Amino acid sequence: MTQKDLADLIFPNIAKTIDDYEKIYPERKLAEGAMVTRFAPSPTGFVHMGSLLASFISSKAAKDTNGVFYLRIEDTDQKREVENGIEGIVNDLKNFKIDIDEGALSRTESLGNYGPYIQSERKEIYHAFIKNLIERGLAYPCFCSEKHLEEIRQMQEATKSRIGYYGRYAVCRNIKIEEAYNRIKNGEKYIIRLKSPGDFEKKIIVNDLVKGKIEFPENDLDIVIMKSDGLPTYHFAHLVDDHLMRTTHVTRGDEWVSSLPIHIQLFQVFGFNPPKYAHLSPIMKQEGDTKRKLSKRKDPEAAMSYYTKLGIPIQAVHLYLMTIANTNFEQWYDQNKDKSIDDFKFDFRKISASGSLFDLEKLINISRNYISYLKAEEVYDNVLYWAKEYDKQLYELISKYKEYTINIFSIERYQKKPRKDYESWSSIKKNIWYMYDELFNDVTYNYQKIVDPDEIKNILNTYIEKYYNETDDKDTWFNKIKQLTEELGYSSNMKEYKENPEKYKGSVADISTVIRVAITSSNMTPDLYEIMKILKEQRIKERIKKAIISC
């Protein structure tokens, strides 16, 4: 009896060989330096920040080099799968404008010639590779029960030995072919393990794209490559898939670095070239005075939905991810404000080796800047789209007054340094609500410095009757406010007022504030002249009247 007999017993219906697969999935014909990258999540529903960063980097690297970025679904652990998990992932990527060139689109649809892109559909491919290993005596069935494995572990712990299935602990490694054959024939449960050719005393060096050179002992663990359900483990699927899909660069979380010796060994056993690896440190979160990994479970900001709900533009999230991804990006962008991320050349060597702290404040700042450079129409479209989902009242209002709203968004926008009032689509309402009569009902007025109702009435009355004129240009408008100021015994010159405040009842600032508050109820607004231009004569008069009455 030979290894071949054993292999045939375990995998009786394997039609294709490794060589066949090599032909079916040939080397990709891409330009020199083109990278083939992938995002390979489990279908657990949604993509969190860390994975998004990894997929963002992968897709950017592929795009920069005219390569291929694909999506592969890693569903070899069926317990993890969530209903519509694939759709959730595809959706998140789509929402975040990370385009895939190939890969799964849903359970039934996909794109590209290197599929299937869902691991559970690749079973026979894995089996062909495993069968090959068994034939060559490089893999064997293991009959150890979980209980027995647990006993081994406890013994190893007790004797302070290295933990794992290796050397003299790997009892099934030495089972005779005949015995294995018969036990399988008798229906005994088993898994397949790699017969590791590694030596723990020897070292291997891996050059990680972000961590640099890392030295490990060789892997000598007889790792499981096929589980009792017939599906491969992650390690083995990684080998087969990334080889057959011709992946050149694997970007993943650094929880995988300790598996590197296993992965390198797997590639060696088949004589394949391993891909280049980039292991990303996790995104951290400050909690008290300790840092911890940003958690999908505990931290709402780890989910993409958090940002769509908040109305942070996805471009801002991209910008933020890029500043985390490449440490030289921020400066580049600062000097190339007119360019987009697409013009920036991503570099694996510029990824920080230590985990960065997630900084929402910085994200918001980026968002604020980003929004400030949009056209008013773009702001409008975005707010409309956002409000449709999250703020019905706002949606109706701005739909009804489209031109008017765009005018509001235009205030102090088209200048060298636009205002940065808006940090997200959801925050805009608090900046513009007073422009809509529908919302301008039960307002309260806080006139700041001037509190005497008669004085306020007097200011307002005098202004509206004597000085206000709709057609005034800005200079005239302000000169008239200055005239009003002087007429009432206030100082129209701020410098002068600051030098001798006791000589006046107040300043032009105080008068302006009264008018501003009367019209908007807020003492913090953009340029009052612009606001009044948009509001127009009739409504200004109404509002001033309303303010006077409420004194």
Partner RNA sequence: GGCCCGUUGGUGAAGUGGUUCAACACACAUGCCUUUCACGCAUGCAUUCAUGGGUUCAAAUCCCGUACGGGUCACCA
Q: Within positions 183 to 242, which residues make up the interface with RNA, using CB under 7 A?
A: 189, 191, 211-212, 214-217, 224, 227-229, 231, 233-234
Residues whose CB falls within 8 Å of the CB of residue 85, separated by 6 or more in sequence, listed in order: 42, 43, 44, 45, 75
- 415/411 Cα distance (integer angstroms): 10
In this chain, which of 149, 155, 343, 466 binds RNA, going by CB under 7 A?
149
Least distance from RNA to the Cβ atom of residue 500, Å? 15
Q: Give, as ranges, the residues between 461 and 490 that touch RNA (CB under 7 A).
A: 474, 478
Q: Does 277 bind RNA (CB under 7 A)?
A: no
Q: How many CA atoms lie within 13 A of 157 on its CB side?
A: 6
**Residue 333 Cβ vs RNA, minimum distance, rounded to whole Å:** 9
Q: Which residues pair with 498 in a beta bridge?
A: none
Q: Select the residue interacting with RNA from 523, 533, 539, 542 (CB under 7 A).
A: 523
Give Cβ neighbours of residue 77 (< 8 Å, ≥ 6 apart): 42, 231
Q: What Å distances lie between residue 197 and 203, 235, 262, 515, 530, CA to CA?
A: 13, 16, 11, 84, 77
Binding of residue 502 to RNA (CB under 7 A): no
- Site membership for RNA, residue 296 (CB under 7 A): no
Q: Name the H helices within 159-288.
A: 177-185, 234-244, 260-270
In the bound state with RNA, the residue whose beta carbon lies nearer, of 6 and 53, is 53
Shortest CB 20 distance to RNA, Å:
25
What is the b/e burial string over 29-57, where b = at least 16 CB atoms within 10 angstroms of the residue's CB? ebeeebbbbbbbbbbbbbbbbbbbbbbbb
CA-to-CA separations, 87 to 106, 295, 385, 484, in angstroms, rounded: 6, 22, 22, 64
Q: What binding mask, one character per residue, do residues 15-44 give for RNA by CB under 7 A, x or -?
A: -------------------------xxx--
Which stretch, 9-17, 269-277, 330-338, 393-401, contacts RNA (CB under 7 A)? Answer: 330-338
Taking alpha carbons only, the member of 88, 94, 121 closest to residue 106 is 88
Among 28, 123, 292, 309, binds RNA (CB under 7 A): 292
Which stretch in 248-256, 340-348, 462-470, 536-544 sits in contact with RNA by CB under 7 A? 248-256
Contacts with 182 (C-beta within 8 Å, 6 or more apart), sequence order: none
By CB under 7 A, name the one of 327, 407, 410, 462 that touches RNA.
Answer: 327
Name the minimum Å distance from CB 313 to RNA: 17
Provide the minimum distance between the beta carbon of 436 and RNA in the complex, in angstroms, as a whole number.
19
111 sits in which H/E element: strand 110-111
Q: Taking the complex as a whole, how short is the minimal distance between the CB of residue 387 and RNA, in angstroms?
A: 22
Q: Cα separation of 87 and 108, whole Å?
A: 11
Given the complex with RNA, which of 246 and 362 has the nearer CB atom? 362
Shortest approach of RNA to residue 370 CB, angstroms? 12
Q: Which of 79/271 has CB closer to RNA?
A: 79
Residue in 76, 247, 265, 405 binding RNA, rule: CB under 7 A: 76
Strand partners for 292: 285
- Interface positions, 344-373, toward RNA (CB under 7 A): 350, 352-357, 359, 361-362, 365
Give the count of beta carbons closer than 10 Å to the beta carbon of residue 403.
Answer: 8
Q: Which of 137, 512, 533, 541 binds RNA (CB under 7 A)?
A: 512
Q: Which residues contact 19 (CB under 8 A, 6 or more apart)?
A: none
Min CB(171)–RNA separation in Å: 13
Residue 397 engages RNA in binding (rule: CB under 7 A): no
CB-based contact 263:291 (threshold 8 Å): no
Q: With CB under 7 A as the contact rule, which of the stretches 16-24, 110-118, 140-148, 433-441 interacts with RNA?
A: 140-148
Q: Are 203 and 217 in contact (CB under 8 A)?
A: yes
φ/ψ (deg, to 5) at 289: -105, 20
Here's the x/- map for RNA, 410-439, by CB under 7 A: it reads as: --x----xxxxx------------------
Q: Judged by CB under 7 A, how many residues of this single chain contact RNA?
A: 86
Distance, in Å, from the CA atom of 39 to the CA atom of 436, rounded to the nearest integer, reads: 46
Residue-by-residue DSSP string for 31-84: -TT--EEEE---SSS--BHHHHHHHHHHHHHHHHTT-EEEE-B--S-TTT--TT
Binding to RNA in span 52-71, by CB under 7 A: none
